[in-house]
Amino acid sequence: METAADFEALLRQVEAIVYSEAPILERLGDICTLLRDRVSHYDWVGFYLVDPQAPRQLVLGPYAGTPTEHTRIPFGKGICGQAAATEQPFIVQDVSQETNYLSCSADVRSEIVLPLLREGKVRGELDIDSHALAPFTDADRRFLERVCETIATLV
């Protein structure tokens, strides 16, 4: 289990990536890899971005983990689409109990999705799948909200 100090240190590393000079998609990909490598219960970490050509559609962006068939998700569909529609973080501690769910892999037991909001609009979201049951704590949510606030300046 990560401590508050671990999350603070990780947040500093996320900020260093966000404020670097690399292309934006490369920065987002590096953040996925960092979070997946450093937090033991984060098994798939990725971004979905709102399609500028088709509003209320999410398109898969950079991610770290196994490939997913869900490369395009309408608002309202699945955990990702629900988080985009409500503009709120959505934590599902047991995906087997969620009827509006798009499965990427049978290994996934839980999921957290947080919107990336800029100027009051959803620009995308951060999606994390875990192979553990009910692993997400308030500390995860607070940490990931701060990560998303930092990243929202990029999208």
Distance separating alpha carbons of residues 103 and 70, to the nearest angstrom: 9
Residue 78 found at the interface with ligand SME (CB under 6 A): yes
Per-residue string for binding with ligand SME, 34-53, x by CB under 6 A? ----------x-x-------
Q: Which of 85, 102, 117, 139 binds ligand SME (CB under 6 A)?
A: 102
Please pick, from the candidates 33, 68, 93, 150, the single residue that binds ligand SME as defined by CB under 6 A.
68
The yes or no reply on residue 11 touching ligand SME (CB under 6 A) is: no
Do 86 and 79 meet the contact criterion of CB atoms below 8 Å apart?
A: no
Residue closest to ligand SME (Cβ): 78
Least distance to ligand SME, CB of residue 80, Å: 3
Sign of CA dihedral 20, 35, 87, 141: negative
3-state secondary structure 15-44: HHHHCCCCCHHHHHHHHHHHHHHHCCCCCE
**Could you tell me the smallest distance in angstroms from the CB atom of residue 146 to ligand SME?**
22
Give the phi and the psi of residue 67 in degrees, each rounded to 5.
-60, 150
Smallest distance from the beta carbon of 4 to ligand SME, in angstroms?
Answer: 27
Q: Which stretch binds ligand SME (CB under 6 A): 13-21, 79-87, 114-122, 135-143?
A: 79-87
Q: Are 66 and 44 in contact (CB under 8 A)?
A: yes
- Residue that the structure tokens 């959803």 belong to: 122
CA atoms of 54 and 50, how far apart (whole Å): 8
Interface positions, 126-145, toward ligand SME (CB under 6 A): 127, 129
Give the binding site for ligand SME (CB under 6 A).
44, 46, 68, 70, 73, 78-81, 101-102, 104, 111, 127, 129
